[in-house]
Amino acid sequence: MATEVKVPTLGESVTEATVGEWLKQPGDAVSADEPIVSLETDKVAVEVPSPVAGVLSEFTVELGDTVDVGAVIAMVEEGAEGKSSSPAPTSKAKADDAATQSAKEMEKLPDDGGQSAAPSGDAPTMSPAVRRAVLEHGVDPTTIKGTGKDGRLTKEDVLAAAKSKGANAAPAPSPTPSPAPTSAAVKGERREERVKMTRMRQTIAKRLKGAQEEAALLTTFNDCDMTAVIEAREAYKDTFAKKHGIKLGFMSFFAKAAALALKDVPSVNAQIDGDEIVYYDYVDLSVAVSAPNGLVVPVVRSIDQMSFAEIELAIADFGKRAKAGELTMEDMKGGTFTISNGGVFGSLMSTPIINPPQSAVLGLHRIEDRPVAVNGEVVIRPMMYLALSYDHRIIDGREAVTALKIMKEAIEDPMRMLIDL
C-alpha cells in the first residue's frame, strides 16, 4: 500500500518551502522516521522523515520546486523491500538517472581538478551539510564512525576523515612534462555561472532591504580597549575550561555587557508594533552565525540571567548545529537584540543592519594593536571598534550613544558586570 509523504508544519507563519535535496532515491529502502528529503524554509533546512517503513516509490515534485505545508511530495510503498545499497543499474534509464543526479550534485561544488570521488557502499543518512562535505572531500561515508545523535555523521567527522586520508596518502610521483590541458590553453577565457538563490538567501535579501526602507537607520561608533578582557581570559582560561568544559571567549563578555546596557537603556531593547512600543524586561540575544546556506541568527533566551559559562555553551552549541544544518525553527524565533561579530572574518569597521523587528544591533570587529593616549603617554593597546546600528524612530541618539558607552566601559572594566554598574 502506498503512503503519502507530506510537507509537515514548518513553524509559525511559515507556509511554504523549497525542495533542497533528496536524501533518498526511488527504489531505496527507508525506515520509519528516516529522513528522505531536505526542505529549505525562510530560516532553516528541515528534513522530512518517512511516515512508514518500506520503499520510496516516487517523487511527486522536482528539486527546486516550491511546496506548501500539507502538499504530497513523495510516495512510500509500505512493507516493500528495496535496495539498501547502491547496486549497478539494471537498465539504461536507471544509469542515466543516476548520472544526472550525480552531475547535479557535483555542479554545486567548485572544480577540484577531478580529484573528488563520489561516496560508495551503504551510505548512512546524512544532513545536507554532511553530504556536501562528503562530496567535496571525496571520502567514503560508510568507513566513518559518526559521533552525532544516534551515531549519525557530522561535518566534523567528515573533515577529520578527510584530514586523516590526506595524511596517510603516499606522495604522488613527480609528473612528467606533458601538453597543457585544453581548459588551460585558452588564456583570458571569461565565464559566468547562474545559480538560483536559495529560499534562505532570498529571505535574507528581502528582510535586509525591508529594514533599510522602513527603519530610520543610524550607526554610532566607539573604540574599546580590550586589555582587561584579554588579561582576564589569560588568567582564568585553564580553570574555566576545566570546570565548565568550554573555552572562555569574548562573546560572553559582550553579551553580559550588552545585557547591562539594555537594562539601563530600555529603548535599545524595545520594538515597534504598529503604533505601540513594546518594552521587554528580559534580553533574548540573537547571535549571528554562519551556516552552509547563509547567515542565521539563533536566539539565546534570557541571556541577562545566564552565567558566562552558560552563555559560552549555548553559543557554541548554536554554532555547531548551524554548521551541521541542524537548527530548528524554534531556535530562530524571537530575539530582542543582536550581536554580529565580523571580527572573526577580519573586519575592521562596519555598519551592521538591524534584524527586524528588533531596533538595534551591536557589531564587533577585529582586535588590533594601536597607539593610544593613556594618562598623557602614548602606549600600544589591543583596540576594537564597536558599532551600534539603531532605528532612530524609537531610539534617540543620546540613548544609543549612552548604551554603547556602557558596553565599552563594561568591557574595559569587567568588574562593572559583577557589581551591576
Residue 375 DSSP class: T
Cell of 106: 557535483
**DSSP state letters, 284-296:** -EEE-EEETTEEE
Whole-angstrom Cα distance, residue 206 to residue 71? Answer: 25
Taking alpha carbons only, the member of 111, 149, 106, 97 closest to residue 127 is 149
Here the cell at position 104 is 547535479
Give me the numbers of helices (H) and strands (E) for the chain, helices first please. Answer: 11, 19
CA nearest 18: which of 198, 195, 196, 194? 198
**Is 317 an annotated catalytic residue?**
no
Question: Of the residues 65, 238, 396, 413, which is catalytic?
Answer: 396
Beta 66-68 vs 294-296: how paired, if at all? unpaired
For the question of residue 396 being annotated catalytic, the response is: yes
Backbone angles phi, psi at 282, to 5 degrees: -130, 165
Residue 115 is placed in which grid cell?
580529484
Indicate which residue of 65, 264, 392, 413 is catalytic. 392
| Rounded-to-integer distance, Cα 372 and Cα 143, Å | 55
Active-site residue list: 392, 396
